[in-house]
Structures are given as structure tokens and as C-alpha cells.
Amino acid sequence: MSAITGRGPGAPRAAAAAAPAGAATTPAAGTAAAALLAAAVLVAIVLGATPVVRAQVAVRAATVHTMAGPPIQDGVVIVRDGRIAAVGTAAQTPIPEGFRVLRAAVVTPGLIDAHTVAGLSGQLNVPPDQDQLEPGDPIQPELRAIDGFNIHERLVEWLLGLGVTTIHTGYGPGAVVSGQTMVVKTYGRSVEDAVLLPMAMVAATLGAGATTSTPGKSPGTRSKAIALLRIELIKAREYVQKRALADESKRPGTDLRLEVLAQVLHKELPLLVTVHRHQDILSALRLAREFDLKLVLDGVAEAPLVLEEIKASGVAVIVHPTMYRAGSPRGGSETENLSFETAGKLRAAGVTIALQSGYEAYVPKTRVVLLEAAVAAANGLAWQDALAAITIDAARVIGVADRVGSLEVGKDGDLALFDGDPFEYTTHCVGVVVRGVVASDKTM
């Protein structure tokens, strides 16, 4: 247990404290999810595994960053049945008898990685563990992240150990529309157990990152990529109209691909567009205006060149990792002009930002938002804004701020514990709590 030892007053009451895993499910998740969870618990019992016992946990820290107000000095967070039950100063927040008490210098909300491919992309980097991009067809919105996510992937475990409790993951950059994304916890028995949003966004890429050099294949150019996407969106719009025809015999058959794009057209799903060059950023904004889409910009290495346009659009931005490789302009790198300061400049312009680990093709196989926020904080992004970009602001951008991202009563009991300033390289993450369960007690 290292740095987070200690028990509350009185004897631990594991049995009394235990709550069914399903207790953390939101009412909104519906009966289907509850049934799945129940099934998962049953399977776990049948297989001889012990279902997760949700002990009651309190965390006391010299500094509590709630992200819902100023930091609390000598604060306490009470987590009951997987949810935050109380947050306040130690003097005003009594720890109930029997609660397990974790101690740390600093506690933050469980960190949120606003865009990754971890879990679909694995650490081995061999074909069997790379499910973040389906080759062959440039537009495949029907591909679901939930069907490819491996919750026991070691990259996911690595992120968890460094305080990341929620990730927005799924199909990655590299195709005009590569597939769907999801929001999921980094800890759980199964994807169903851990998922917050099974469908979060539809992942798209514009610019050279979406093109192919294979002869005879499209898109081979930026313009062709946009054309393909416009054609498909128009097709989806017409599909919606035809599906609503009074005469059932004239309605087209169900098309999974167009069904998903219809959700994008109806703003039920944001279009997440990975884009780096300034002209491609503007292309994405143009496309969103044409089809009245809910757009989220991703990457945007050249955002400082078009700050005004991004700000005017009101679009949120998931900024490229600071440590992304710039690459060589001679190699046609899209990211040659990225900067440690992109996040700071966007935030200063009033743009809502979140940080991400992104996609890495080689060693290291993923970045870590905790380490990204540190570099951003050292390069123009205010400290609190940097923490917000991997907690509450990230939660807002990916649509789960009602569940995670801040330490507020009723939200999920997800916390990251540190023995100092979380951004300092030599500080350790000394514990991670997910839905009231100590999911990691490693010192990392």
C-alpha cells in the first residue's frame, strides 16, 4: 500500500461496506446495461473470480483539487458506494466509522485522457493487438470501439497507474472516417463494466493524414477526402429523408454506416476531426458549417495560425500531445509546426481545450496526459488550466462531465493521489481510486 496506508476509526466492515458493482451504474444507463452488469457479475462468480467489493473509502489530503472551486487545504473526500458523498475540509467533513482512509499530499479527480487509442492499440505493436485502424475503406463509421477494446491491455493499466481513470478511446486517426470512439474507465472487469459512453464520437481525419498513396485508391488528395466525406454526409441526409417516407415499400433498408452518420447530422454524435495543417483546420470548420455538425477539433498543430477562426467557431479542441514528434517537413510531416505552447495559446484565446495522449506508432506506444499537462503547464498554460485540461474540461469536451472530472457530491468516486505537485517529474502517483475501489496502489 506504500504511501496510502491507514484505516479509519473502528474496524473495517468489508461485508457491510460491500455494494453490488451495479450500484455505480447511472439510472440513465438503463436496464440493458444493468442486465449486462448482472451477467458479468454472474460470469465472474461462475469462473471463480471474486466480484469487486466496493469498500467505503475516504481520502484525506493536504491539498484537494476539486476542480469545482478553489483547492481545499487539509481536505477530505468521502466515497460511499462508488460515488462521492462529501467533499470539504477535514474539520468540517467527519470520516464515517469503518471507512478505509487513504492519505496523500495532493488529491485530484481521476485524470481524463480526452483522446487516445489505448485499449484498441496495444503495447506489443504487432497486428494482433492493433485494432485502432481498419484498412481498406476510407469511410467506416459503423465500426464500434466497444467491439475492439481490451480493458486488460497493459497500456490501459499503465495509464491507470499514473492517475488516469477515464479515457476517450476508439478508432484512431488515419482514415477519412475511421470509426467510433467511446468513453470508458481504465479499471473494471469488462468493457461493459467500465464503459461510460459506448458511442462518444465519430472519428475523422482530414489533410494528408487521411490520404493514401496506393495507386487507384482514394483519397489521394485533401480535396478528394473532403469530397468523399461530403458525398457520404449528403447520402446520409437523403437516407434519413427516405427512411421517413410514408410508403414503407419505398424506404431503403437499414444501412449501419448511414445510421451512424445520421446521428452525426442530428448532432447526437460529435464529429471528432483530427487535423493539423492550418488549411485543414479551416476545412473542418467549413464542413461543420455546411452540415451544421457538432465538431470537436483534434490535434491542430497549426492552431496558432488560425486562432481567431477557431475561437469564432466556438469549437472545443483536444490538443495534440506536447511531446508528439514534429517530424521533418522534407518527409511531409503534418505536425512539423507543433509546439509545446499550442495548449497555452488556445486557452489564452478563450478556446475550451483538453489534453490527450493521442496515437503513437512506435516507441513509446502511448503518451500520458499527466506528463503532457506538465509540459503544457511549463509552457504557457496556467497550472489550474493544465489540471482542468485533464479533468473537468476534458470531461466537458467528451461529454461526461455529469459523471467525472471534478470532486463533487454525486459524481463517480474517481480520484488520483499524489505525494506532491502532480506535474513535477519526481512526484509519484501513490494511489488511484475508481468508483470507490482502490484500483492501483502502486507508487509510480
Partner 1 sequence: MQRLVSAALALSLAAGVCAAAGAPDAFVGATLLPISRPAIEHGILIVRDGKIVDAGPADRVAIPKDATIHDVAGKVIMPGLVDSHSHIGGPAGGDDSGPIQPECRVLDAVDVRDCGLQKAQAGGITTVNIMPGSGHLMSGQTLYLKLRDANTIEGLLLRDKDGRTLGGVKMANGTNSQKDPPFPGTRGKSAALVRARFVAAREYQRKIQLAKGDPSKLPDRDLALETMVEVLEGKRVVHFHTHRHDDILTVLRLQKEFGFRVVLHHVSEGWKVANEIAAAKVPCSIILLDSPGGKPEAVDIDWRTGSVLEKAGVLVAFHTDDPITDSRLLLRSAAFAVRAGMSRDGALRGLTIAPAQMLDLQDRIGTLEKGKDADFVVLSGDPLSAYTHVLQTWVEGAKVFDRDDPRDRLWAVGGYGASHPQSFTWCCADDEGKHGAEEER
Which residues fall within 8 angstroms of residue 209, CB to CB, at 6 or more apart? 173, 174, 274, 275, 276, 334
117 binds partner 1 (CB under 8 A): no
Query: Closest separation between CB of residue 282 and partner 1, Å?
Result: 16
The DSSP secondary-structure symbol of 291 reads H
Among 168, 347, 365, 435, binds partner 1 (CB under 8 A): 365
Per-residue contact string for residues 150-189; x = within reach of partner 1 by CB under 8 A: ----xx--xx------------------------------
Q: Using CB under 8 A, which of the segments 5-13, 68-76, 207-215, 319-327 binds partner 1?
A: 319-327
The cell for 407 is 470532486
Largest Cα–Cα distance in the chain? Answer: 72
Q: How far apart are CA 75 and CA 253, in angstroms?
A: 58
Q: Would you say how long the chain is, in residues?
A: 444
User: Should residue 333 be labelled a site residue for partner 1 when binding is judged by CB under 8 A?
Assistant: yes
DSSP code at position 378: T
Q: Which is nearer to partner 1, 43 or 124 (CB)?
A: 124
* 127 touching partner 1, by CB under 8 A: no
Q: By CB under 8 A, is residue 207 in contact with partner 1?
A: no
Residue whose CB is less far from partner 1, 245 or 361: 361
Does residue 54 touch partner 1 according to CB under 8 A?
no
Nearest approach, Cβ of 363 to partner 1 (angstroms)? Answer: 3
* 3-class DSSP state of 414: coil
Report how many residues bind partner 1 under the rule CB under 8 A: 47
* CB 424, min distance to partner 1, A: 5
Does residue 136 bind partner 1 (CB under 8 A)? no
Residue 437 is given by DSSP the state E
355 is an interface residue for partner 1 by CB under 8 A = no
- Taking the C-alpha atoms of residue 442 and residue 444, their distance in angstroms, rounded to an integer, is 6
Q: Three cell numbers at 174?
A: 488515419
By beta-carbon proximity to partner 1, the closer residue of 96 and 327 is 327
Can you tell me which of 95, 281, 368, 416 binds partner 1, judged by CB under 8 A?
Answer: 368
Using an 8 Å Cβ cutoff, are 422 and 430 in contact? no
330 binds partner 1 (CB under 8 A): yes
d(CA 1, CA 442): 7
Check binding of 385 to partner 1 (CB under 8 A). no
Task: Rank residues 298 and 302 by Cβ distance to partner 1 and give the closer one.
Answer: 302
Positive or negative torsion for Cα 443, 389, 288, 256:
positive
Cβ contacts of residue 276 below 8 Å, gap of 6+?
Answer: 207, 209, 299, 300, 301, 302, 320, 334, 335, 338
Q: Which of 32, 91, 362, 410 binds partner 1 (CB under 8 A)?
A: 362
Q: Does 327 bind partner 1 (CB under 8 A)?
A: yes
Q: Does 367 bind partner 1 (CB under 8 A)?
A: yes
Please identify which residue in 63, 123, 130, 212 interacts with partner 1, judged by CB under 8 A: 123
Contact between 57 and partner 1 by CB under 8 A: the answer reads no
Rule CB under 8 A: choose which of 3, 338, 416, 438 binds partner 1.
338
Rounded Cα distance, 64 and 89, in Å = 9
Rule CB under 8 A: is residue 280 a binding residue for partner 1?
no
Binders in 412-441 for partner 1, by CB under 8 A: 423-428
Rounded CA-CA distance 298/173 in Å is 10
Closest approach of partner 1 to the CB of residue 188, in Å: 20
Of 426, 409, 405, 420, which Cα lies nearest the Cα of 164?
405
Is 59 within 8 Å of 415 (Cβ atoms)? yes
Q: Which residues contact 203 (CB under 8 A, 6 or more apart)?
A: 170, 171, 172, 173, 177, 178, 179, 180, 181, 272, 274
Is 131 a binding residue for partner 1 by CB under 8 A? The answer is no
All three cell numbers of 257, joined, read 454506416
Closer of 77 and 318 to partner 1 (Cβ): 318
- Residue 65 contacts partner 1 per CB under 8 A: no
Q: Does 275 bind partner 1 (CB under 8 A)?
A: no
Interface with partner 1, residue 308, by CB under 8 A: no
Residue 338 CB, nearest approach to partner 1 (Å): 6
CB within 8 Å of 151: residues ≥ 6 apart: 119, 184, 186, 187, 188, 189, 190, 191, 193, 194
Nearer to partner 1, 5 or 125 (CB): 125
Q: State yes or no: residue 234 binds partner 1 (CB under 8 A).
A: no
Binding-site ranges for partner 1 (CB under 8 A) = 122-126, 154-155, 158-159, 302, 304-305, 323, 325-330, 333, 336-341, 360, 362-368, 371, 374-375, 377-379, 423-428, 444
